[in-house]
Amino acid sequence: MKILVCMKQVPQKDAPLKLNETAAWIREDVSYEVNEPDAFALEEALRQREKHKGEVVVITSGPARAQQVLREALAKGADRAIHLEDNAFVGLDAFNTAKAFAAAIKDENFDLIFTGLQSDDYGYAQTGVILAELLGWPHATIIMQIEKTESGIKVKRELEAGYFQFVDMPLPAVLTIQSGINKLRYATLIGIKQAKNKPVRKVALAEVQSAIGDNLQKIERLYVPQKTKKTEHIEGSPGEIAKKLVDKLRNELRVM
């Protein structure tokens, strides 16, 4: 099975975010990490390769710093990587990102393409589905299980409120992978060493420029959310906080 995993580098979960001068994006002087849902997608691809043999290729778009995500993926066991390297890729909307990816992989022939179900920075949950439509492939989202079958694959789709659904699909297909589908592995020291020799193909913006266009949507402004709720801070030593809280629970909120 030849599997492509689309991965994104996002600001670290607890990174303090500051708006840039135009307040249309954040200042980039933060620490970055791999988008957690994408880590689950990579882990699933590695497990499928373990079961069915094949190749796992990882792709990302972004500035030089995004290479870290690819290095980690290669260290965990991915076979090779594709880096669409340019600052400009950060500002592309999901539609253009998907178009850039489709252009970059036009000479490959993958059986499966995985993405995480959404990114922790934008949270749109669209890139994988858009990519499927651009490629003309079937897709399924929020996937918790993948099995190979005679006619393709059988996936377990997660729905709300504890419901699930099995779906039979032909290959090739795009799947967006849900967190918790598996347990993430750590890169081993040997893996980190081997990663240095694995191929990383760089794709310049110019190579995919003809495929992308203007963004179809625009962030007019980014801001710290206005609080509509009045939050009361309870302060003091832990013992004081405990007493104040119980007092509120009993006398104000009447839940005790």
Q: Looking only at residues 161 through 190 of this chain, which bind another protein when binding is defined by CB under 8 A? A: 161-170, 178-180, 183
Closest to another protein by CB, 80 or 156? 156
> Residue written as tokens 């972004």?
62
Q: Determine if 103 is a binding residue for another protein (CB under 8 A).
A: no
DSSP 8-class letter at 26: B
Residues between 112 and 131 that touch another protein (CB under 8 A): 120-126, 129-130
Closest to another protein by CB, 13 or 196? 13
Smallest separation, CB 123 to another protein (Å): 6
Closest to another protein by CB, 210 or 226? 226
Residue 127, classified by CB atoms within 10 Å of its CB into exposed (0-12), middle (13-18) or buried (19+), is: buried
Q: Determine if 88 is a binding residue for another protein (CB under 8 A).
A: no
Q: Determine if 204 is a binding residue for another protein (CB under 8 A).
A: no
Closest to another protein by CB, 9 or 141? 141
Q: Determine if 17 is a binding residue for another protein (CB under 8 A).
A: yes
In 3D, which of 128, 150, 134 has the Cα closest to residue 211? 134
Q: Which of 47, 55, 158, 187 binds another protein (CB under 8 A)?
A: 158
Determine the Cα–Cα distance for residues 104 and 96; give it in Å rounded to an integer.
Answer: 12
Smallest separation, CB 200 to another protein (Å): 28
DSSP 8-class letter at 151: T
In 3D, which of 250, 251, 43, 255 has the Cα closest to residue 143? 43
Smallest separation, CB 43 to another protein (Å): 12
Binding to another protein by CB under 8 A, coded x per residue (else -) over 30-69, reads: ----------------------------------------
Contacts of 203 (CB under 8 A, 6+ apart): 82, 83, 84, 85, 104
- Stretch binding another protein (CB under 8 A), from 42-50, 53-61, 152-160, 196-204: 152-160
In 3D, which of 51, 57, 59, 61 has the Cα closest to residue 77? 57
Closest to another protein by CB, 79 or 121? 121
Residues between 207 and 236 that touch another protein (CB under 8 A): 214-227, 229-234
With H, G, I as helix, E, B as strand and everything else as coil, classify residue 153.
Answer: strand
Tell me how far CA of residue 71 lies from CA of 4, 78, 84, 224, in angstroms: 15, 9, 14, 33
